[in-house]
A and B are shown apart, each in its own frame.
Chain A
Amino acid sequence: MYKSLVIDPAKCTSCLQCELACSFENEGVFNPAKSRIKVFEFEHGLTTIPYTCTQCEEAWCLHACPVEAITVNAQTGAKEVNDSICVGCKVCTIACPFGTVNYNSSTGKVIKCDLCGGDPQCAEVCPTDAIVYVDADWTGYSKMRDSALEAHA
């Protein structure tokens, strides 16, 4: 069983450590705009929700890619973009119904969560455990996935 990022919005204080850690780990800059996890604010910050790829089974991005630039990491189950193969066509960005693949105009490629190769930095730095990296049989997580699948059947 792969481990998953499990997110509990109720614990999120909107400190944005996850965005900073993600962009630094993956893009070498502290820049939330380049983060693969994004914290959405509701009601002027009363509710905040960290949101990123759930590495879904369906992997719409992977199926849509015309050049096999997105593959499954056998260790982590993450759907990873291989920059040297990606041509930047952006088909995956519209294919992903969760909106978690984004185009990066400075590289001309796309970016998405790759679970940092098994040591996701967002979970690592989150001070309140709003983001944890745990075995994926957690019920809330499967509920989240089920609702997503139902929605697409």
Chain B
Amino acid sequence: MHHVIVGAGPAGVIAAETLRKKSPNDSITLIGDEPYPAYSRMALPYLMAGDVAEDGTYLRHAENHFESLEINVLNDSVSQVHPADHSISLKDGTGISFDRLLLATGASAIRPPIGGMDSPRVHNCWTLTDAHRILSEVKAGDRVVLLGAGFIGCIVLQALVEMKLELTVIELADRMLARMMDGPGGNMIERWCQAKGVKVRTGTAAKNVVEKNDSLEIELGDGSSIVADHIVCAAGVRSNTGFLEGSGIKTDAGVLVDWNLKTNIDNVFAAGDVAQGPDRSTGEQQVHAIQPTASEHGRVAACQMAGDPMPYGGSLSMNVLNTLGLITSSFGLWDGIDGGDSTRVEDQPHNRYLRLEFRDDVLVGALAIGLTQHVGILRGLVQTGVRLGEWKKRLMSDPSQIMHAYLAKVQGTRA
């Protein structure tokens, strides 16, 4: 049996390793198009901040890691998939045949459709090449506009501040982290950033960018403009599905996959940022574009490909983020559900916030700011769907008792 994996990011690498464990005798080919050893995009901010060198972003550290597992690694780009004859084409036309195929091609950064985005002073911050370029071209003290204060934008923000840049953040939505934080939480983060000297302008969009002398003039929707040396763009990503055109493999925002991470074509699977797979909370197909989902997908898909499925009930959407020292996390349906119950504690002076959302007596989502101890229990409770019984009432009046509720209900501790 020959397994071919396209894309050597976290999803592809974990799938290859899992396949090797499950199917010791099968052959495995892992094809990635970036000119580096397999690395993690999410380690890039730490490279930019100077915390680690390039090799600190690598997914695996042992020399000959892939050789020792007999995983055949190709540095090449796949340009087409031909499901009918079980083969793929590399960009030079070479064909490779497969018995099982995993699409793990991740996503790419996109730029807003406005004028001036093609200037060499505009940078993405998505790949190792992007990070190297920012590090070589953007210097301490430079005026930088960060476009986008979503999850990735806020992670990049931290690195840009550590690079000692004069930073202004522009966010179209009415608050920072609009898709992982509610109003009170988003405002807490914005105030925190402002207090740390980062200018944040929410609720306004960049309309046009003009290169002037050695700088950029960014015109905003409210009629004002900002002059900067560079723009760093964190305004969204798109799943890499282009090479599937004409293959018959169904795509929407990403490659559509079922509860087994299988596409509409037999023997073809998808995992990670390219996959639009089942969300654990809603059952709907979603592109999560987060590391925990990529690694879980990699394992689940590989087990399927090896013919030894592991139990899987969809991936849970969750995030954790450090914004200039303020630690934020979100889990599942943090915005609540119709007919559900909600409770919050907000401690503005200490920048702490906790919000819990329930369906009956089951925790379905949570938000936390300033919580670093035992925070994973929020995942545990949401993911297991454990009935909290009398503990729900206690949590409604004191959400901070989550760990106690877990011990009482899951570990069966009498209390």
Contact = CB atoms under 8 A, between A and B. Distances in A.
Nearest to B374: A99
Pairs of residues from A and B, 9 with the lowest C-beta to C-beta distance, nearest first: A99-B377, A97-B380, A66-B40, A99-B374, A96-B376, A151-B384, A42-B415, A153-B311, A103-B372
Contacts of B372: 90, 93, 102-103, 105
B373 interface: yes
Given A63-B299, A94-B319, A100 B46 contact: no
A42 B390 CA distance: 14
B376 A89 contact: no
Contacts of A148: 410
Nearest to A150: B384
B164 interface: no
A85 B322 CA distance: 18
A140 B352 CA distance: 37
A91 B322 contact: no
A98 B43 contact: no
Question: Which of A63, A100, A101 is the most central at the interface, judged by chain B CB atoms within 10 Å of its CB?
Answer: A63
Question: Which of B318, B374, B412 is the most central at the interface, judged by chain A CB atoms within 10 Å of its CB?
Answer: B374
Given A90-B327, A105-B325, A152-B384, 14 more contacts: A42-B413, A51-B403, A64-B292, A66-B40, A67-B43, A67-B57, A85-B61, A88-B46, A89-B43, A91-B291, A95-B292, A151-B380, A151-B410, A153-B313
A94 B291 contact: no
Contacts of A100: 374, 376
A93 B320 contact: yes
A118 interface: no
B404 interface: yes
Contacts of A93: 320, 372, 375-376
Interface string A44-61: 000101010000000010
12 contacts: A38-B373, A43-B415, A47-B413, A47-B415, A66-B59, A67-B59, A85-B56, A90-B320, A94-B379, A99-B377, A101-B376, A151-B410
B377 A152 contact: no
Nearest to B299: A63
Nearest to B408: A42
Contacts of A66: 10, 40, 42-43, 59, 291
A51 to B, nearest CB: 7
Interface of A: 9, 38, 40, 42-43, 47, 49, 51, 60, 63-64, 66-68, 85, 87-91, 93-103, 105, 144, 147-148, 151-153
B386 interface: yes
B145 interface: no
Contacts of B259: none
B43 A144 contact: no
Contacts of B291: 64, 66, 91
B403 A97 contact: no
A68 B413 contact: no
Given A47-B414, A100-B376, A90 B295 contact: no
Nearest to B415: A42
A61 to B, nearest CB: 8
A54 to B, nearest CB: 10
Interface string B289-321: 001100110010000000000010100001110
A91 B374 CA distance: 13
B386 A91 contact: no
Interface string B355-386: 00000000000000000111111111001101
